Structure 1
């Protein structure tokens, strides 16, 4: 398996801690729109598409324009202050150790996702943005992925829909019980555990 290893990673709250940047963009967006968003509450459950996150706080007709404005404000407020999670670079390096390909498959606007990858210096073969939940399955299948790593139940849905191994980390807003209930194959506390897990996985009967 290692000769053809392809591993996909989610971005927000899996590889990078998006909370500081997301918080600052929401504050800037609220100032532009004259709306006081419950920022702490909203950043505690990152994962769903932005428009769904905004939906409880804005009239439906204002959401598309608010989403566009959020994405326009994003580069100024949410790149320099967003770090890679501990273990993220090492997780990518673990895939490289086995001559594997690294994908980032995310619901984030692609141009902003690319800014994050460049800022933290991730070595990635393919970036696919604006895909969410089971929609990630098409990308994972097309790119030949065998593993998808995420933090949200919807990442699990995408992995399972593609028929690949679902690895979940507890750095996002979903609990172990929620992730296991969604059907993930593996739950890791953080990406720091991923290199050892990958070694064991590739050494196993299917490796």
Structure 2
């Protein structure tokens, strides 16, 4: 493991709005949750601020003493309503393939509940070498350090903070709720318009001595 960590390029990817466009699925899950609980949730608003943990969003709509039970129920509903409608982001499969083409490992580090994250990837045919869920912002550094990730790719300022905390290069894609200026201001080392630009960037990065 130590040898692998030090000599194999490992790239981490966020999930929501980085590798997958989960907005259609998350909207469907929130609408189902709202119908079941009788509590209004503005699903169209909720999907504009993806990234942080589910509980953070639920606090906008539910009292604190209901958050944990509601989160558990949402994660159950999610399996039925959210996997099928969610799509891969443009360039997602090619970005993961680019890491493999350089002999590297691609891992997914996400705030999403891990079993549901895995369901998304399986459904879309995106194969990661590891999937680590329930980590947000600075906490993502735990998994990035454990797997020796040199690069972390995400769409949110929280992903930038996670990469920086881990000492990894922060590559940001402006495909989520944070625009390029916000991502740069948060300290992203590289800002791409989307994952379509990632393979060419990775080629240049690797040529500059990715393994050193």
Settle same-fold status: TM greater than 0.5: yes
CA distance in 1, matches of 2:116, 2:13: 16
Partner residue in 1 for 2:197:
193
CA distance in 1, matches of 2:52, 2:210: 33
SS at 1:56 equivalent: coil
Runs (5+) with no aligned partner, structure 2 = 1-5
Partner residue in 2 for 1:130:
134
Question: Residue 89 in 1 paired to residue 93 in 2?
Answer: yes
| Structure 2 counterparts to residues 68-83 of structure 1, below 5 A | 68-83=72-87
Displacement of 1:206 in angstroms is 5.5
Q: For 2:157, which of 153, 156, 177 is the aligned residue?
A: 153
SS at 1:104 equivalent: strand
Q: How many residues are paired up?
A: 207
Q: For 1:14, which of 12, 18, 34 is the aligned residue?
A: 18
Q: For 1:110, which of 109, 114, 121 is the aligned residue?
A: 114
Q: For 1:98, which of 91, 98, 102 is the aligned residue?
A: 102
Displacement of 1:5 in angstroms is 0.6
Runs of 4+ with deviation above 2 angstroms: none
Runs (5+) with no aligned partner, structure 1 = none
Partner residue in 2 for 1:50:
54
CA-atom RMSD in angstroms: 1.4
Partner residue in 2 for 1:178:
182
Question: Residue 67 in 1 paired to residue 64 in 2?
Answer: no
Displacement of 1:3 in angstroms is 5.3
CA distance in 2, matches of 1:106, 1:56: 21
Does the 8 A contact of 2:171 with 2:192 survive in 1? yes
Which string of whole-angstrom CA distances, capped at 9 and with x for unpartnered residues, describes residues 97-155 of structure 1? Answer: 01101100011111101101110011211110111111110111110110000000000
Displacement of 1:205 in angstroms is 5.3
